[in-house]
Amino acid sequence: MNILVIAAHPNLENSRANRALLDAIQGLENVHVHDLYEEYPDWHINVKREQELLLGYERVVFQFPFYWYSCTPLLKKWFDDVLVHGWAFGPDGNHLKDKEFMVATTVGGSENGYRAGGDNWFTVSELLRPIQTTMTRCKGKFLPPYAMYDADRLTSQQLREQAARYAEHIQAGVKQLVH
């Protein structure tokens, strides 16, 4: 399975957590990383190129730090610009039909803080529903997300362990992810 990881971190060189995740998948034969902030520092997204890129992969992973319970601003713009009516959804919008989509996010808070009664009241999966709804509207299959909690407090060893789990997660078969 060919996997496209769309990395969307505005300051990746200073991110221990997101850098560890990307380091864990570097060199994997079936995984291609596409860094939006590196590719589009001027925020002028080449829509045709992005659409063509999506067509070449069976699974797409959106990797980003959790920003105010959502994705980073450039990734949101990417969704708005690239996933257009007639191409990604609507009567003739079948280009993403049956593709697999997944989110991988780094979270500064604890896992206990993301649950009913926790500091944030909702799980990360619940807070990702707008992205899930977008991808299912595009006739894609939304798979369980990967979340790295306490991302800014993990030791180097814990980061490596989490990154190894991330590499396994994004490559896992659907039956392994949805049981």
pLDDT tens profile 87-124: 999 999 999 999 999 999 999 988 888 999 889 899 99
Whether residue 82 is contained in a domain is answered as yes
- pLDDT(179) > 80: no
CA distance 41 to 160: 29
* 55 band by pLDDT with thresholds 50, 70 and 90: very high
Q: Are 124 and 105 in contact (CB under 8 A)?
A: yes
**DSSP letter at 70?**
B
Q: Give which of 40, 132, 33, 105 is closest to 78, Cα–Cα.
A: 40
Domain residue limits at 140:
3-172
The DSSP bridge partners found for residue 67 are 70
**DSSP letter at 89?**
B
CA distance 87 to 91: 9
**Residue 121: CATH number of its domain:** 3.40.50.360
* 131 band by pLDDT with thresholds 50, 70 and 90: very high
Whether residue 177 is contained in a domain is answered as no
Whether residue 179 is contained in a domain is answered as no
Segments of the chain assigned E as strands: 3-7, 31-35, 59-65, 100-106, 141-142, 146-148
Domains held by the chain: number: 1
pLDDT higher for 44 or 13?
44
